[in-house]
Structure formats: C-alpha cells, structure tokens
C-alpha cells in the first residue's frame, strides 16, 4: 500500500507538471518557449512510463520526444527566422 501511494503521488505530481507545460506551450508568446515546454511535457511522460514499468516505451519517448523532436522543431524555427528567446517586439540576436 505504501509503494502504491507513493506511485499515485508521484504520478499526480508528474501530471500537474505535464499539464502546466502543455498550458505554457499553448499560451506562451515565444515559439522557443513553446518548444521547450513540449520537451518538458515529454520528459514528464517519460517518467510516467518508467513509473508504469514500460522501459522500452520510456526510452523511445525520452529519445524522440525530449531530444529529437525538440531539435527538429528548433531547427525548423531557425529556418523560419523565428528562433529568438524574447517576444518579437524586442529585437534580439540571430
């Protein structure tokens, strides 16, 4: 019972983090912040898969969701000249 209570609490924390990250991705002005938020969401999903004893799926989610898709998104933003950490009003490098 103790272990399962810990699992529920950990999963609850992860779910809150994931939903917050998803909301941040929806609401943020900066595209870069949205990409990072999606990466954090994937990280939460990875930990959730580990909790649920699915290491294969967790590895795939970690590698593809956290790493590769963020990299591809960031490179696409760079090609579209949207790669800045601040809102479009303030000019930035790049």
Nearer to another protein, 8 or 86 (CB): 8
For residues 30-59, which are near another protein according to CB under 8 A? 51-53, 55-56, 58-59
**88 is a site residue for another protein (CB under 8 A):** no
Nearer to another protein, 55 or 88 (CB): 55
Helix axes 31-51, 69-79, angle to 10 degrees: 170
**12 is a site residue for another protein (CB under 8 A):** yes
Reference 43, options 78, 70, 8, 3; nearest CA is 70
Reference 42, options 80, 7, 71; nearest CA is 71
Considering only the stretches 16-24, 28-36, 39-47, 84-92, report the one whose residues sit in contact with another protein under the rule CB under 8 A.
16-24
Distance CA 69, CA 41 (A): 12
Q: Are 51 and 7 in contact (CB under 8 A)?
A: yes
Return residues touching another protein (CB under 8 A): 4, 7-8, 11-12, 15-16, 19, 22-23, 26-27, 51-53, 55-56, 58-60, 63-64, 67-68, 71-72, 75-76, 78-79
């Amino acid at each position: 019972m103790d272990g399962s209570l810990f699992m529920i609490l950990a999963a609850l924390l992860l779910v809150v983090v994931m939903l917050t990250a998803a909301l941040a991705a929806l609401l943020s002005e900066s595209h870069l912040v949205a990409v990072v938020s999606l990466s954090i969401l994937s990280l939460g999903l990875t930990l959730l898969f580990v909790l649920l004893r699915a290491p294969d799926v967790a590895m795939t989610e970690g590698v593809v969701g956290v790493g590769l898709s963020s990299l591809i998104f960031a490179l696409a933003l760079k090609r579209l000249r949207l790669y800045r950490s601040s809102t479009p009003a303030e000019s930035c490098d790049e």
